[in-house]
Amino acid sequence: MTVRWTLEDESTSEEYTFEMNPDTAKIPGITKTINYENTSAGSGRAIIFEGQDEIPKGSFGGKILSEQQYSDMESWSNRRHQVLLTDDLGREFSIYITDIDFNRLRRAGNPWYHDFTVNFTILDWPA
């Protein structure tokens, strides 16, 4: 049994279940912000300063097979607030979708066949 990815808009209780799960996903780990300074001491040792972690950005992509799926992805990407993304592993991420790219591919029997890539900023992730 395939577990489908979902998007949920918690402000309206709308939910979208992917027709076909994305075939690529970049879920980043933590990226530390590190600054280095050299000292003027004779030993020349470095001083390292650690700041706040960088804001994680990720992406997922896959195939679009129908006009309805194309419209749904466009609609979800146009939202101006965070949504909840749940993947097939059950991980939940509060994300803000920053952009979507569609790449139409020629298929004689399917005029709506596209590749797509969604880029997002992660606002919250599993502990």
- CATH code, domain with 56: 2.40.30
Cβ–Cβ under 8 Å, residues 11 and 79: no
Q: Does any domain span residue 1?
A: no
Cβ–Cβ under 8 Å, residues 114 and 29: no
**Counted domains in the chain:** 1
pLDDT at 31: 85
Q: Does any domain span residue 15?
A: yes
Interatomic CA distance for residues 39 and 87, integer angstroms: 47
pLDDT at 44: 74
Interatomic CA distance for residues 31 and 88, integer angstroms: 24
pLDDT at 41 over 90: no
pTM score, two decimals? 0.84
Report the amino acid identity of residue 89: L
> What percentage of the chain's residues is helix, strand, coil (to nearest 5)?
10, 45, 45
Between 47 and 23, the higher pLDDT residue: 23
pLDDT at 127: 55
Interatomic CA distance for residues 127 and 125, integer angstroms: 6
**CA angle 113-119-124, nearest 5°?**
135
Q: Does any domain span residue 83?
A: yes
Q: Give the range of the structural domain holding residue 47, as residue numbers without chain letter.
A: 6-124
User: Tokens 């020349």 sit at which residue?
Assistant: 44
What is the chain's length? 127
Q: Does any domain span residue 53?
A: yes
Interatomic CA distance for residues 104 and 87, integer angstroms: 25
Q: Does any domain span residue 99?
A: yes
